[in-house]
Structure 1
Amino acid sequence: MTHHVELIEMNSELLEGKGSFCLRSKKKTEGYQNKNKWLNQQFEKGLHYIQVLENQKQVGFIEYTDAEYSSRVVHADGYVVIHCLWVSAVGKGYGTQLLKRCLKDAKERGKKGVVVITNDQTSWTPSKDLFLQHQFQHMATALNDFELWAFPFHESVERPYFPDNWQERLTRFPHLTILRSFQCPYVDVATENIQLAAEKLGLQPVLVDLQTREELMEKSPTPYGIFSVVYKGQLIAFHRLTVHSVYKKLQKLMNNF
């Protein structure tokens, strides 16, 4: 069978027809609709959202933007930040095609380079394997196994870096607190699972919707930025957990204090 492969850069009009990649089987959910609203807002700020279509079927995507509009907590002025890179049809080189498209665009626009944040604990961040294959350099490690990788275009450019006060940020949240933005459509169900577990334990989570990059850079207790759950100064989650897992973590912390 012949495979017809296209890389399509989405805009508001195409998004209306194709929709975003993640959670596309549940287009009526609040999380999916919030993601599409978020994308439309970010298109106006230069966000790039490119899908791979194989015989008109969505099989992968990359999302990236300039650092000053990024949803990742990293100091990377002049760089492009990759939010997500995901391919469901593996072994066909689609991930490489998407990454090369991003690198080419960043270089043509005179950026300093490209950065990405990875974490082996979750599929909510891109896997670092692809970036290692394409000569990305390790820049930094943060709490909870977050890693910063970069592809600087010149030796002379300033290197990106993480904030250095993660532990202090955690101590700001003695009460059960959910910090989130809608860059990821799974944030909605992840929030719901926290709330359901908390209710069983008689806890009422504080919900903080991060509206601006400035707020994100100041408050987020992880480099991932778009979803963090903190209780008694401890990080509970930075990706979706089951209600049972959340319950066990919260219960343990409650018993320890």
Structure 2
Amino acid sequence: MNHDFINLTTENLADEHLCCIIRSKKIHPGIEAKKQWLSERLKEGHVFRKLNEKATVFIEYAPLETAWVPIVGDNYYYVYCLWVSGNYKGQGYGKELMEYCLTDAKAKGKSGICMLASNKQKHWLTDQAFAKKFGFKVVDTTDYGYELLALSLDGTLPQFTQNAKNGVIDRQELTIYYDMQCPFIYKNIEIIKEYCETNSVSVSLIQVDTLQKAKELPCVFNNWGVFYKGKFETVNLLLDTAALKRILKK
């Protein structure tokens, strides 16, 4: 079945909703920040394709050369997110979105498609089992549990940068690298700031605001990366106070 999907463009971006946070016309800082980030990325070949309904059903991907991740490779697409939630699960939407990305890659002569994964399924990452049905395979790993999945169309393979594989930094305080790609980030930063101020926790919040900074990051990254005592902790955006307490007890 072919469903009614649309792609965000520089022309329709202002009027279309973002699937991950569906709101009325009331201004939402996270959505506005995401749309500002997207307005530049769309010019670089970034694709945001969504179901033409008020639903969380979408795929977001970009040429690896301009994808804000510490992964390198020639002529690949990088999938940031493929998300189908609620009553829309199990109806073939995810399959159709992935097939669109694959068809697009072939049409543009891409060498393949890659995405971030982990040896144990983690929040905010595409389901590995789903990806592997399309032929994705593990092509690179880190020492702290994350993997790079790739579907090669010509035999070439992407890889993590050495910095990303290391997963360590000199800073001992809670350190969070983030960009404004996800609408949830704005609110999460505010929550973390408030918690750390209230509990006298030292924190460094480092905004990744250029492609170069993203490619040089010391950890795997989809839009968020957390360190504590110099060691990488998580890409999980839902870093609520309970999760923060667990990390800070280490």
TM-score between both structures, scaled by the size of structure 2:
0.88
Of all paired residues, the percent bearing the same amino acid is 27
User: 1:244 and 1:154 mapped to 2: Cα distance?
Assistant: 45
User: 2:189 and 2:8 mapped to 1: Cα distance?
Assistant: 28
Which secondary structure does the structure 2 equivalent of 1:61 belong to? strand
1:163 aligns with one of 161, 178, 199? 161
Which secondary structure does the structure 2 equivalent of 1:92 belong to? coil
User: 1:175 and 1:167 mapped to 2: Cα distance?
Assistant: 20
Give matches, 1:174-253, under 5 Å: 174-218=172-216, 220-239=217-236, 240-250=238-248, 252-253=249-250
Contact 1:198 1:247 in 2 (8 A): no
Matched to 2:244, the amino acid is V
**Who is 1:75 aligned against?**
72
Q: Compute the displacement of 1:142 (Å).
A: 1.8
Structure 2 unaligned spans of 5+: none
User: 2:80 and 2:222 mapped to 1: Cα distance?
Assistant: 10
**Who is 1:45 aligned against?**
44
Which is further off, 168-177 or 96-105? 168-177
- Cα distance change of structure 1 residues 193 and 235 upon mapping to structure 2, 3 Å threshold: farther
Which secondary structure does the structure 1 equivalent of 2:214 belong to? helix
Normalized per residue, the structure richer in helix is 1
Q: Compute the displacement of 1:199 (Å).
A: 2.0
Matched to 2:231, the amino acid is Q
Deviations 1:25-79 (A, max 9, x none): 37633212111111111111111110123xx443411111101111222112210
**Who is 1:131 aligned against?**
131
Structure 1 moving runs of 4+ over 6 Å: none
- Cα distance change of structure 1 residues 167 and 196 upon mapping to structure 2, 3 Å threshold: farther
**Who is 1:142 aligned against?**
142
TM-score between both structures, scaled by the size of structure 1:
0.86
- Cα distance change of structure 1 residues 184 and 159 upon mapping to structure 2, 3 Å threshold: same
Contact 1:195 1:204 in 2 (8 A): no
Matched to 2:78, the amino acid is V
Structure 1 unaligned spans of 5+: none
Deviations 1:159-207 (A, max 9, x none): 1111234475522322332211111111122222322332233124222
Which is further off, 138-147 or 78-87? 138-147
User: 1:72 and 1:212 mapped to 2: Cα distance?
Assistant: 11
Matched to 1:60, the amino acid is V
The answer to whether 1:152 aligns with 2:152 is yes
Report the count of equivalent residues: 245
CA RMSD of aligned residues (A): 2.2
